[in-house]
Amino acid sequence: MKIETQQKSDVVIVRIEGRFDAFGVPEAEQHFQAAIDQQPRHLVINLGGVNFIDSTALAALVRALKRVREHQSDLSLCNLQQAVQIIFELTRLDKAFSLYADESAALTALGVA
């Protein structure tokens, strides 16, 4: 799994690639926490490179959502591949997260050009 973080204005973007499962969760959580520590207005997680996601990874995203909301911030997901989108729909977490088609759509919605 490959993870990179980028800050654009007051939004932090975390991009994840590869298989997002129990083995990758600890590393992803380090990135999420580092991003949250920057106290961004918004955290965007780009899952465009994720071809598989399991329940522990979904739980990590739920934890991250709770943490950012504790900081009066919010979290969006973008660029979900079809297999990942199906998991979000099956668990109905697509209703709990703000989902965007891609990173630029997310940034536009957040007012970051």
28 neighbors 16 (Cβ within 8 angstroms): yes
Closest alpha carbon to 14 in 95, 113, 92, 103:
103
Span interacting with another protein, options 10-18, 40-48, 50-58, 72-80, rule CB under 8 A: 50-58
Q: Can you tell me the distance from the alpha carbon of 13 to that of 11, in angstroms, rounded to the nearest whole number?
A: 7
Q: Is 1 among the residues that bind another protein (CB under 8 A)?
A: no
76 neighbors 106 (Cβ within 8 angstroms): yes
- Sole binder of another protein in the list 37, 96, 101, 108 (CB under 8 A): 96
Q: Is 62 among the residues that bind another protein (CB under 8 A)?
A: yes
Question: In whole angstroms, how close is the CB of 63 to another protein at the nearest point?
Answer: 7
Q: Is 92 among the residues that bind another protein (CB under 8 A)?
A: yes
Q: What is the chain's alpha carbon radius of gyration, rounded to the nearest angstrom?
A: 13
Q: Is 33 among the residues that bind another protein (CB under 8 A)?
A: no
What does residue 105 show for φ and ψ, rounded to 5 degrees?
Answer: -65, -40
- Sole binder of another protein in the list 65, 99, 106, 110 (CB under 8 A): 65
Q: Is 98 among the residues that bind another protein (CB under 8 A)?
A: no
